[in-house]
Amino acid sequence: EDAMAEADPPKVATPSNGEATPWNANCRVFSTRATTALLRILRDKRTGQRVYAEAADRLCRVLAEEALASIAEEPAPLPVETPCGVALMAGGRHVRDESSICLVDIMRSGAILMDAVRHLAPSAKTAKILIQRDEATALPELLYSKLPPRVEEHDVLLCDPMLATGGSAVAAIDVLKAAGVPEGRILFANVLTCPEGLQRLAADAPGVRIITCAIDEKLDERKYIVPGLGDFGDRYYGTAGYDEGYWGTAA
């Protein structure tokens, strides 16, 4: 629905790739030519369901690789012996034990991103959390959660393509914290966010790290991200918006 934008297009507020954001010190922007090209397809209101789903799956696979490499990072360069010498490598670290990771899907759109991660780490544990947002108040309500045993012993990758108000994300994080997972072991991956959502997590879950492909300008009065891309799940699954003409006007 926020594909129905104002006459003057809002600006995208994304900092440079890898920079910390002013709204949340634990948020890092992951932006490449590939993510930008795919996000352009997702934003376009003319994009039909088939093309949208294909682009979403491709973008989630790219983000999934970066998220997995960001679960554990090497703060200082470590030597890696190559056939020709020694390379000093810093930053992301390959996850050797997939079973030490728990992938958490904030249903339903979170499944799109989580499935992309599972293709890369099929031995990772999975969890489901269903939170319904009241469209009138934008407040979240927890309806269902299923976590694996000893989830507190795992590094958690929380998956949801959109971080808008932050209400659903905080509710999901509260479920994990109640199960014993410390904030410092949670990485939240999303495609698109905004300052309001980042500020909410900075206030209510300051230890949670966030990786996102873009930060947009703001939320509108309906609590949709602007300029955004509309409803990620409805456009992907085809459940709303096409017949109404909100998006998908191209074949």
- Among 2, 44, 105, 231, which one carries the catalytic annotation? 231
The confidence score (pLDDT) of residue 132 equals 85
The confidence score (pLDDT) of residue 115 equals 96
Q: Is 61 labeled as catalytic in the residue annotation?
A: no
Burial class (CB in 10 A: 0-12, 13-18, 19+), 65: middle
In tens, the pLDDT along 61-101 reads: 999 999 999 987 766 788 888 999 999 887 666 667 888 99
Q: How far apart are CA 98 and CA 100, in angstroms?
A: 5
Residues 197-210, mean pLDDT to the nearest whole number: 97
Confidence of residue 138 (pLDDT cuts 50, 70, 90): low
State the sign of the Cα–Cα–Cα–Cα dihedral 117, 119, 121, 123. positive
In tens, the pLDDT along 172-193 reads: 999 999 999 999 999 999 999 9
Please determine, for residue 113, whether its predicted confidence score (pLDDT) is greater than 90.
Answer: yes
Amino acid identity, position 32: T
Beta bridge partners of 79: 88
Q: Is 234 labeled as catalytic in the residue annotation?
A: yes
Confidence of residue 140 (pLDDT cuts 50, 70, 90): confident
Q: Is 137 labeled as catalytic in the residue annotation?
A: yes
160 neighbors 187 (Cβ within 8 angstroms): no
Mean pLDDT of the chain: 89
Confidence of residue 125 (pLDDT cuts 50, 70, 90): very high
- Among 32, 137, 239, 249, which one carries the catalytic annotation? 137
Beta bridge partners of 20: 28
pTM: 0.87
The confidence score (pLDDT) of residue 249 equals 72
- Among 133, 174, 204, 220, which one carries the catalytic annotation? 133
- The better pLDDT of the pair 222, 20 is held by 222
Backbone angles phi and psi of 108, in degrees to 5: -105, -30
